[in-house]
Amino acid sequence: MIQTAGRDRRGLPKLDVNDHNDMDHTDFRKILIVDDNPDIHRDFAKILESSDAVDVLDQLEEEIFGSSDADPSYPRYQYRLGYATQGKQALEMVTAATDCDDPFLLAFVDMRMPPGWNGLETIQRLWQADPRLQIVLCSAYSDHSWDEIQQRLGPTSNLLILKKPFDVTEVSQMAAALTEKWRLSKQAATKEETLTYMVERRTADLQEANRLLKEEAQAREQLEKQLLRAQKMEAIGSLAAGVAHDLNNVLSGIVSYPDLLLMDVDEHSPMHRKLKLIQQSGQKAAAIVQDMLTLGRRGVFNHAPFSLKSMIETYLESPEFETLCRQFANVRIDARLLKEPGRVQGAESQVEKCIMNLVSNSAEALTATGGTVTIELYRRDLDLPLDAYVPIPAGSYIVMSVADDGPGIAENDVDHIFEPFYTRKEMGRSGTGLGLAVVWGVVNDHRGFIDVTTRESAGTRIDLYFPAFDTSAAEQAPEGDGNPQEEKKALILVVDDIAEQREVGVALLEALGYEARAVASGEAALQVLAEQPVDLLLLDMIMDPGIDGLDTFKRARALHPGQRAVIASGYSKSSRVEKAMTMGASGFLRKPYRLQDLANVVADALKN
């Protein structure tokens, strides 16, 4: 119970807040009395601060009925009273209590408090400081009607009117009810705030989860598109490569035999020119077939370090580039190349096709309007993966870029531009429809990546990312002089399952002055090697139905550890060729081959 600690100068009881005895089940509620009459203050103190009356009633109940229904565990309302004689003083007390988070729950406010604010103005000011404060307006006069009070204060549920002189019970009931109302309102507001926070937190969690799901769905959709694109390219490439392999075998006679015939025909003979035309047509067909092999990633090339900068400079001085400039006279071509060589590992001839195809495409896009094609070469170090046309992992790259300020590519076409034969140009009027598909195949063969930036009416930019070559790891491969006059008495065994290939190979080797024999399978070659050694094997990589070139070379090395060999093929899976080269094969010869190509490779193999 709160004990009194004497009285103040007005005769009002003082509260001793240091006495905490019996406070466990007591609910203390803070009430402000605002009246200019100190006697009214003492009346409220007698009513609200006295606990003696409650104790006397409990004692009488026990004497009359033999027991008391008072539950000692039930919380008793006890009040802490504050007093103000003017409205301004009351405002200061309410403001201070609110600021220190110990607010008044209820205020009994007198209507007339001269010379300061009256009750209505005081209430207005108090609610500005604490809108949740419950107020009882006390008055002995009918100064204002209820309608006038509402008009002045506005509609509110926090206001009651108490007429003077007031009844003790009425005051007690009002104090208990209004302070309980404040407490329940506070409790409800707290729960509402908690619920609002929980809802906001849950909403934020759901929004975050939804965002992550959307990102995951978008990433999955992107991966599915990339997978579908890769599968489509693989399927088309496999079909093209299968056809290309057979075509290369057919083209061998058209490309290779004219070299033999031209040796016997006078340079000024009409037949000489016709044979050259046949050979040139065969070479053009072979170049298209090579593009088809590139699509299927079946082409095998000797990868060596080379400078992209030098390659681009060579292309800009080539007859092909001069022809392109004459054909597209209204197109300007600029080059912005880094100062360093920009070295990468790969097949220079294949990467050169990329720059030729990209520049040609950009120039064609500007045919009607004219414009500028820009070739750029720069180094880019990625610390983090790059979200591009295809995802690009972190690493160091030499980037070769071709950009134009032409009409751009339609959004619906961007995902298809690297597909073979997919074009918006008129078929037959501009290439084979394999240009960008070849770029895709070459870049993938070099473990590179592609990014495309385009917008309709704003031009197109294609960036090819090639892994930068570590110059400290460079190894210079020995180069042959291609002189067919050396090792002319060497015996060379041609191993090929195609009869025309065997005939062409033997004829060309004999024309070069070598002794040549031919067999139709790897098994037959091993039988020859078991009987006599040969200086060099010219091995086809794929031979059905027997063992292939790699297995033949392995077994030949078992018979003769120093056996030399050159791999020849219309195409071959790169892993098989690379394994043969790792074992010691001296070189690779791509079909269809010409006399000089054969001479260079054989001379190098026999010298080393």
CB of 338 closer than 8 Å to CB of 308: no
Q: Is the bond into 467 cis (omega within 30 degrees of 0)?
A: no
CATH class of the domain whose range is 303-473: alpha beta
Looking at residue 6, what is its pLDDT?
Answer: 47
- 104, 82 Cβ separation under 8 angstroms: yes
Report the Cα 152 to chain-centroid distance in Å.
62
What pLDDT was estimated at residue 474? 44
Predicted pLDDT of residue 140: 76
Domain segments of the chain as ranges? 4-166, 303-473, 491-607
How far apart, in whole angstroms, are the C-alpha atoms of residue 202 and residue 317?
66
| Distance from C-alpha of 238 to C-alpha of 245, rounded to nearest angstrom | 11
Q: What is the dihedral of CA 422, 425, 428, 434, to 10 degrees?
A: -40
Distance between CA atoms of residues 598 and 608, nearest Å: 16
CATH of 491-607 given 1.20.140.10, 3.40.50.1980, 3.20.20.70, 3.40.50.2300: 3.40.50.2300
From the candidate CATH numbers 3.30.420.40, 3.90.226.10, 3.40.640.10, 3.40.50.2300, the one assigned to the domain spanning 4-166: 3.40.50.2300
Whether 568 and 248 have beta carbons less than 8 Å apart is answered as no
- Residue 53, C-beta contacts closer than 8 angstroms, at least 6 positions apart: none
Q: If we measure between CA atoms, which residue out of 213, 113, 134 comes closest to residue 177? A: 134
User: Starting from the edge strand earliest in sequence, which strands make up the sheet with 587-590, in order?
Assistant: 515-519, 491-495, 536-540, 565-569, 587-590
Q: Which residues on neighbouring strands pair with residue 432, listed in sequence order?
A: none
**Sequence-separated (6 or more) residues with CB below 8 Å from residue 435:** 357, 360, 361
> Which residue(s) pair with 600 in the sheet?
none
Per-residue model confidence (pLDDT) at position 558: 92
Q: In whole angstroms, what is the distance from residue 194 CA to residue 308 CA?
A: 65
In the structure encoding, which two tokens stand for residue 143, read together?
């100064």
Please name every residue paired with 377 in a beta bridge, in sequence order, or none if there are none. Answer: 337, 400
Gap between the Cα atoms of 14 and 5, Å rounded:
5
CA of residue 273 relative to chain centroid, distance: 58
User: From CA 540, how far away is CA 296, in angstroms rounded?
Assistant: 19
As a whole number of Å, the end-to-end CA separation of the chain is 112
Alpha carbons 218 and 214: distance in angstroms, whole number: 6
Q: Which positions of the chain have pLDDT values less than 70? A: 1-27, 50-76, 229, 233, 236-246, 248-249, 252, 286, 288-303, 421-433, 471-488, 571-574
The pLDDT, as a whole number, for residue 105 is 96
Same fold, 4-166 and 491-607: yes
